[in-house]
Amino acid sequence: MAAAPKPAGRRTRAEQRASTVKLILDTSEELFAQLGYFGVTIKDVADRMGIHPALIHYYFDGKPALFDAVFQRRVDYAVTTRTAGLDAYEAECGDQVTVEGALRAYYDGAFDVYINGDEGWRNFGRIFAQVNNAPGYGAEKMDTYFDPLVLRLIGLLQKALPDAQAEDLFWSFQFTSGAYSLILSRTGRIDRLSGNLCASDDFEAVRERFVTFMAGGFDALYRHRKAAAS
């Protein structure tokens, strides 16, 4: 016997649960992006939603679990995007690796997400920047999710600059990563400094310039070392 059709407008319990969890995560993501991990409480999230904190505790076992869920929701896609970029670049270029090509494979897809995604993705970018820049809760997530990708990128850069000093490659990546985190933070400082000539949320302008600028830094340090050695 066929199951009775669900009345129009009625949601199943699973659908109601999914909707509630999504709303909790969306609200938490916005608050964590604005105030940081230590600046947000479960009560803050509940108050913003107009619900009792017990409902959030029903779904998440405390603030650490809630933050983990907020981060996990997007980080898998972020890692997948960068992995796909590196895979495609290696398949295309083989051993003909360039610094700019490797950096573009690593960063361009990430910027595309912030260009084409919704405000939730931009909130995640701020959370990512916080985790990447400050010790404390969440910092270990960079080790788990992104260190293997970074080491893969370093390997490509070593192919592009085979006689470069390894520490120079790691320092250069550190400088690049710091700039990337500042961009994701969208502090608005560049807006004020430039008299609104530039906008901190203009990821298209960033994407157009970022890799070319960073590749120049790698190359300049490499040439400086070569000149000093000779």
Residue-wise pLDDT for 71-80, tens only, equals 999 998 999 9
d(CA 61, CA 140): 20
- Lowest mean pLDDT, pick from 88-97, 115-124, 138-147, 171-180: 138-147
The pLDDT of residue 211 is above 60: yes
For domain 74-229, the question of CATH label 1.10.357.10 is answered with: yes
Contact between 132 and 144 under an 8 Å Cβ cutoff? The reply is no
d(CA 160, CA 152): 13
**What are 208's two structure tokens?**
């157009």
Q: Is the distance from CB of 43 to CB of 55 less than 8 angstroms?
A: no
**Least trusted range by pLDDT, from 56-70, 128-142, 209-223:** 128-142
Task: Check residue 213 and give its pLDDT.
Answer: 97
pLDDT tens digits along 6-52: 555 677 888 888 999 999 999 999 999 999 999 999 999 999 999 99
